[in-house]
A = this chain, B = another copy of it.
Amino acid sequence: MTDTVKYLLDEADIPKQWYNIAADLPEPPTPPLHPGTGQALSPSELEPLFSRGVIEQEISTERYIDIPEPVRDIYRQWRPSPLFRARRLEQALDTPARIYYKYEGGSPAGSHKPNTAIAQAFYAREDGVKRLATETGAGQWGSSLALAGSMFGLEIDVYMVRVSFDQKPYRRAFMESFGANCFPSPSDRTNAGRTVLAETPDSRGSLGIAISEAVECAMERDDTKYALGSVLNHVLLHQTVVGLEALRQFELADDYPDTIIACTGGGSNFGGIVFPFLGHQLRGGEAVDIVAVEPANCPTLTRGKYAYDFGDTAHLTPLVKMHTLGSNFVPPGFHAGGLRYHGMAPLVSQCTDLGYVTASAYDQKACFEAGLEFARAEGILPAPEANHAVVAAMEAARACKVSGESRAILFNLCGHGHFDMPAYMDYSAGRLHDQQYNEEDMAMALAGLPSVAG
């Protein structure tokens, strides 16, 4: 038995500004393009979709952007979040590595997602918006926006990927508890949904399809905007509160990470924990090894192309430059629904392309095995998404045992697994398999990327 080591911050240490990596990159972020003209979109062209506050942030290259007080005020409910030194896990692994994890599961939705949901709901209300439409995979994001909507008096419509809608009725009930409307996607409420259903009546859905439905719903009504839980610059910006706090906490620990490991689906968890440290490096500070971990069944960074593509299946979104498996690629159903997206955040993609990031992919069984080992050592059961970071961190710690190096390894435990017990039950009962995506489908989807000079 070794000590629990927790690095807390005072409320006053909740960041007052978000950090924008665009300010420190050696080249400007790639702009979103109009799919018809191939020209960079102007801010006003984004207005049918997004509220003005987030559009400003989407294109900003300012290094720091003030967090509005009403947002910071709600952050206070669960922020600053703790940084733990995983001493029991180190002992269990008998490793000289120093393993640290930031824990975002203490938020009222159980994950890091409220960091941006609260901000997006705030800017929507400031802009006179009455309703936000969004998609959700595993339900973490939908839950968070439902919560944020109830705080700011907004109506929330959530299009939930069919496979998750069926697997996770409790996530849906959680959203409804906060007054949100939750629809399985593909639905018959939108052209995008009806088109998919016509071709594939039993479609399990995907984030790409659900995004199309939410975008369509936002474009149809003046009082409705669209909210995205990941991928976009402003979403990653809001999540940097995680990494900014961690930077301060490492000062308290009198240590600094050698390696940062982050699971990545759309990229918001990754950007949140990594960018403040990467920015520090780009400004001449300590260098850090950065590892992005994705599911082997949806290997965007490790198998995708870095190219302009649509963010959704029905091609309603602007084109963004990102690592993508093709917007028509529908990944097999697996339990880390929050990582089941064909694309990757443009900023994460760019950082990977610039060589700052090493990407790796893990099968889900290995992830669950690591998650249970982590739980039994540290007492917290991680969400399946977070298990991707856990498995990679444990592997890095085991490598330290072999090499004898004492490296400091940081990862973000982005959510708890209290809503994910069916997945753990499947794993424990041996019902969980490492289903392989279809190579032909992926090749076809990649071949179908839009032809735009990127």
Residue A150 contacts which of B6, B70, B379 (CB distance < 8 angstroms)? B379
* Cross-chain contact A4 with B177 (CB below 8 angstroms): no
In contact, A418 and B11 (Cβ under 8 angstroms): no
A422–B11 alpha-carbon span in the complex (Å): 35
CA of A179 to CA of B373, assembled, Å: 10
User: Most chain-B CB neighbours within 10 Å: which of A84, A372, A418?
Assistant: A418
Which one, A35-43, A168-176, A290-298, A443-451, is touching chain B? A168-176
Q: A106-B106, A418-B419 are in contact. Are A173 and B425 (CB under 8 A)?
A: yes
Question: Judging by beta carbons under 8 Å apart, are A73 and B421 in contact?
Answer: no
Interface string of A119-163 (1 = CB under 8 A from B): 000000000000000000000000000010011100000000000
Interface size bracket, A side: 35 or more
Q: Is the CB of A110 within 8 A of B418?
A: yes
**Cβ–Cβ < 8 Å partners of A84 in chain B:** 77
Q: Scoring A residues 387 to 418 as 1 if CB is less than 8 Å from chain B, else 0, what string do you get?
A: 00000000000000000000000000000011
Which residues of the partner chain B approach A179 to less than 8 Å between Cβ atoms? 376
A177 to B371, CA, bound (A): 9
Whether A178 is near chain B, meaning CB under 8 Å from some CB there, is: yes
Q: Is A1 an interface residue (CB 8 A)?
A: yes
Contacts of A381 in B (CB 8 A): 108, 174, 177-178
The yes or no answer to A366 lying at the interface (CB within 8 A) is no
Partner of A73, one of B3, B108, B375, B424: B3
The CA of A321 and the CA of B184, in the complex, are separated in Å by 54
Interface string of A354-380 (1 = CB under 8 A from B): 000000000000000000100111011
Q: Tell me which residues across on chain B come within 8 A of A173, comparing CB atoms.
A: 421-422, 424-425, 428
Prevailing SS type, chain A contact patch: helix
Chain B, residue nearest A75 (CB): B4
CB-based contact A380/B108 at 8 Å: yes
For the complex formed, measure the closest distance between the CB of A5 and the CB atoms of chain B, giving whole angstroms: 8
B73–A4 touching, CB < 8 Å: yes
Indicate whether A151 sits within 8 Å of B77 (C-beta atoms), given known contacts A170-B421, A177-B424, A419-B418.
Answer: no
A76: Cβ under 8 A from any B Cβ = yes
Q: Let me know if B174 and A376 touch, CB within 8 A.
A: no
**Known contacts A8-B11, A381-B177; is-contact A421 B152 (Cβ 8 Å):** no
- Closest chain-B Cβ to A233's Cβ sits at a distance in Å of 26
Min CB distance A220 to B, Å, is 27
B-side contacts of A10, CB under 8 Å: 8
Q: Are A70 and B174 in contact (CB under 8 A)?
A: no
Q: Does A74 contact B (CB under 8 A)?
A: yes
A176 touches B419 (CB 8 A): no
Contact pick for A152, options B1, B73, B428, CB 8 Å: B1
Give min CB distance, A82 to chain B, whole Å: 8
Given the complex, which residues of B lie within 8 Å of A106, measured CB to CB? 78, 106
* Residues in B whose Cβ lies below 8 Å from that of A375: 150, 177-178
Chain A 211-258 residues near chain B, CB threshold 8 A = none
Which 6 A-B residue pairs are closest in the complex by CB-CB distance? A170-B421, A173-B421, A418-B418, A150-B376, A108-B379, A4-B76
**A interface residue numbers (CB < 8 A to B):** 1, 3-4, 6, 8, 10-11, 70, 73-74, 76-78, 84, 88, 106, 108, 110, 147, 150-152, 169-171, 173-174, 176-179, 372, 375-377, 379-381, 417-419, 421-422, 424-425, 428
16 A-B residue pairs with Cβ-Cβ distance under 8 Å, sorted by A, are: A4-B74, A4-B76, A4-B77, A6-B11, A77-B84, A78-B106, A110-B418, A150-B377, A169-B425, A170-B418, A170-B422, A173-B421, A174-B381, A174-B421, A177-B428, A178-B376
- Given contacts A1-B73, A170-B425, A174-B424, list 11 more A-B pairs with CB under 8 A: A3-B73, A6-B76, A77-B380, A110-B418, A150-B375, A150-B377, A150-B379, A173-B421, A173-B424, A178-B376, A418-B419
